[in-house]
């Protein structure tokens, strides 16, 4: 992956817990015996609507730089909207790339702690709190939306499909 920046070693929920505690961020972890790798599984486990679940996605631009896109669980990322916003063609990262870039496997990526330019769909701001990947495939983390956007220095825009 020549040119790729921010390679990380394997990370887990304890790394995420320390990061949030050190930043003084309110959070709540949910741990389950069944996986929470999909929005459907997470919503079912928590008994909440998929729109309160967030998907943290890794995309790669044409300069081979990673970006993070966060969209509501009931929506899909619109790559064309992100391309227009960034001025660069973008593609979804492969599972291997996601883990190399973030240190987390697909389906477990937390929305914070990456130090990568992050784009957040404006629909997420409708909720005071959201739930996303918690660092492993059986854990979710709940964060206040304002903390998520502040911690990631997010660019807020319309990046989800209608």
Fold of 13-157: YbaK protein (3.90.960)
CA separation for the pair 94, 72 (Å, rounded): 20
**What's residue 4's pLDDT?**
47
For the chain, the domains span 13-157
Which of 5, 21, 4 is CA-nearest to residue 13?
Answer: 21
pLDDT in tens, 19-55: 999 999 999 999 999 989 899 999 999 999 999 999 9
Spacing of C-alpha 55 from chain mean position:
5
Q: What are the φ and ψ backbone dihedral angles of 159, each rounded to 5 degrees?
A: -120, 0
User: Rounded distance, CA 160 to CA 93, Å?
Assistant: 17
Nearest to 133 by CA among 41, 5, 47: 41
| Edge-first strand listing for the sheet containing 27-31 | 27-31, 139-144, 129-133
Mean pLDDT within 80-95: 97
Task: Determine contact, residues 114/102, Cβ cutoff 8 Å.
Answer: yes
């Amino acid at each position: 992956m020549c040119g790729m920046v921010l390679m990380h070693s394997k990370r887990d929920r304890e790394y995420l817990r320390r990061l949030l505690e050190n930043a003084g961020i309110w959070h709540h972890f949910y741990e389950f015996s069944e996986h929470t790798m999909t929005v459907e599984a997470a919503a079912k486990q928590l008994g909440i609507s998929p729109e309160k679940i967030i998907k943290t996605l890794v995309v790669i631009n044409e300069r081979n730089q990673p970006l993070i896109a966060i969209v509501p669980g009931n929506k899909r990322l619109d790559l064309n909207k992100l391309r227009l916003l960034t001025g660069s063609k973008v593609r979804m990262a492969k599972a291997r790339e996601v883990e190399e870039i973030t240190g987390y496997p697909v389906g477990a990526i937390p929305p914070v702690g990456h130090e990568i330019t992050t784009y957040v769909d404006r629909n997420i701001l409708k909720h005071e709190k959201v739930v996303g990947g918690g660092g492993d495939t059986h854990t979710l983390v709940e964060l206040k939306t304002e903390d998520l956007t502040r911690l990631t220095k997010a660019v807020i825009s319309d990046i989800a499909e209608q």
